[in-house]
Amino acid sequence: MRTLVVIFSLAVMLSGGIYAFLRYAPDRFDPFAPLDIAEAPSFLTAWKLQSLKGDPSACFAALDAAGISYAAMPDRETGEGCGFENAARLQDKEKLPGTGGLPMTCPMIAALAVWERHDLQPAAQSLLGTRVNRIEHFGSYACRNVNNAASGRRSEHARANALDVAGFRLEDGREVSVLRDWGNGGAEGAFLRQVHEAACGRFASVFGPDYNTAHANHFHFDMGGFGLCR
Ligand SMILES: [Zn+2]
């Protein structure tokens, strides 16, 4: 009987704690609050980004709230296993410089925006003493298979659900290249490794130069379902 009373009391205390946490904690710690791209990320951010995949209206609302400019694209098939669904063409010259005109799924844009604001720019400030002026890339959409293979699985690029980042142009004119600077023991190399690792907490899958030679010159980011970080 005494054990039951103890278990019951603990259960009451635990549920009271959970209630108080959900009721009074800031939104970034509330799993039911919508993703706020501007807010400092928490341990829930990756989960909130992944949940946007099943909730296009919440996803576009998050882009709107963050003031990201885009032109929504109608859903359409462009080939076997290729096409656009809940995608938009980025038009943002300020928040995501260098990505103008790129078609991407909404969750990709949201993850990219969180990464740019909370990982990329702070790393550039602390390690290179400047800001990133432009994200250099090899594109987002391509109707093709994984690794450009003649057969096999379609790439996440076939659904505009991926982006290949080749490097960065900095505000002071310097350029950081994945191909040239990944193995660099100085600040540029440290910067690349830091933003690569941070990307693993934002995107579903991340591949870089350590994964294979096909990725020697870029970081591959996607919002597919594998959860790989290499
Ligand atoms: Zn890629």
Tens digit of pLDDT for each residue in 110-151? 999 999 999 999 999 999 999 999 999 999 999 999 988 888
Residue 201, in any domain of the structure: yes
Spacing, Cα 24 to ligand 1 middle (Å): 41
Spacing, Cα 211 to ligand 1 middle (Å): 12
130, two tokens: 């400047």
Provide the 3-class DSSP secondary structure of residue 12.
Answer: helix
Instruction: Indicate the number of domains in the chain.
Output: 1
Q: Which amino acid is at 193?
A: R
Spacing, Cα 164 to ligand 1 middle (Å): 5
Residue 134, in any domain of the structure: yes
Cβ–Cβ < 8 Å for 155, 221: no
- With 0.85 as the threshold, say if the pTM is over it: yes
Closest CA to 193 of 139, 120, 137, 144: 120
Residue 13, in any domain of the structure: no
- Spatial neighbors of 62 by CB under 8 A, at least 6 apart, are 34, 35, 36, 37, 52, 110
Element (H, E) at 90: strand 87-90
Spacing, Cα 149 to ligand 1 middle (Å): 13
Strand pairing category for 162-170 and 219-222: antiparallel
Cβ–Cβ < 8 Å for 128, 188: yes
Instruction: Give the percent of the chain with pLDDT over 70.
Output: 87
In the 8-state DSSP scheme, what is residue 27? G
Residues spanned by the domain of 97: 54-74+83-222
Higher pLDDT residue, 153 or 9? Answer: 153
Tens digit of pLDDT for each residue in 19-71? 555 555 656 667 778 899 999 999 999 999 999 998 999 999 999 999 999 99
